[in-house]
Amino acid sequence: MSDVLSIVLKRLGLGVITLFVISVLIFGAVEMLPGDIAEAVLGMGATEENVAAMREQLGLNQPAPVRYFDWLSGAVVGDFGVSLVTQTPVGEVIGPRFANTLFLATYAAAIAVPVAIFLGVVVALLRNTLFDRVANVLALTSISSPEFFLGYILILYLSVKTGMFPAIAKISGDMTFLELLQRTFLPALTMVLVVVAHMMRMTRAAIINLLSSPYIEMARLKGMPAWRVIIKHALPNAWAPIINVVALNLAYLITGVVLVEVVFVYPGIGQLLVDSVTKRDFTVVQACCLIFAATFILLNLAADVLAILTNPRLRYKK
């Protein structure tokens, strides 16, 4: 157990260092934007006095390192500053949007993960058959298609032509759970089509890679059915790579949702990021980028830990 704890602590330390480097890059990217932030916020008609007052309010008169550590120390405790557009705390702006994004990602994951693992097992059982080839072609097509393209295709056929689902994922607090699922089905399906293909192919590859193992051959020689060999012997030993690819795709569902939310006008953090870039609301942009980075790092850490727990060979140094 001490070996597992030391590995987890080492991964956590690396994650903190990575997040620190990313925060420097985010702050530096905003600093390198052309023009004066105060002038961009106030507009072209602002007077010099107004610009000077805005610079004082934003702390732009201080050196960049001082402003960075002030921002970072606030971000650590959840204080990302004040929105330049609405003059409300960034946490209050991001909180409901991030909750909407988490709901959409959870909705998509609840469909994608079991479907992907099931299809991966099926195509591994039927490898080198027509079904396997067709499934691989469809998976590659789905992976190669941009999210916004899939979204527009779904809107065309499931909204415009049939009217089964709304083209715009407009939600409100007074909706029932079933209404919420119906309104958000198209953006969730778009994300499912992208991540299912990748997870299915990795599940198939992990299982097929184990089918040549001696214990699998022994199970076959005993007359065990092929499906039982895969379910009882191959799948438990393939959990480590499957968990890794599932965690990476879950990270995508949260951090790569920007295009999907824009296509369906879904009120999530991705749509907020795009709107904030358009309005040059830099405090919100910085907070969104840092939240995306932290989410991705945490899910990668969870993938490493779960892979170690499911595969004892990863707990010891070679």
**Can you give the pLDDT at residue 40?**
66
| Sequence-ordered alpha helix ranges (H) in the chain | 2-31, 37-42, 48-58, 64-76, 90-125, 130-144, 147-155, 177-183, 185-210, 214-221, 226-229, 235-237, 239-255, 258-263, 269-279, 282-310
pLDDT given for residue 132 in this prediction? 84
The C-alpha atoms of residue 58 and residue 81 are separated, in whole angstroms, by 10
Highest mean pLDDT among 83-92, 100-109, 241-250: 100-109
- State the pLDDT at residue 318: 52
pLDDT value of position 45: 65
Class of domain 95-315: mainly alpha
Per-domain boundaries in the chain: 2-76, 95-315
What's the pLDDT band for 41 if we cut at 50, 70, 90? low
pLDDT tops 70 at residue 100: yes
- What pLDDT score does 43 carry? 66
Average pLDDT over residues 234-261: 78
Res 312: pLDDT: 62
pLDDT of 211 > 80? The answer is no
Q: Among 209-213, 257-261, 308-312, which stretch is predicted with the lowest mean pLDDT?
A: 308-312
Higher-scoring residue by pLDDT: 152, 57: 152
What's the mean pLDDT in 251-272?
84
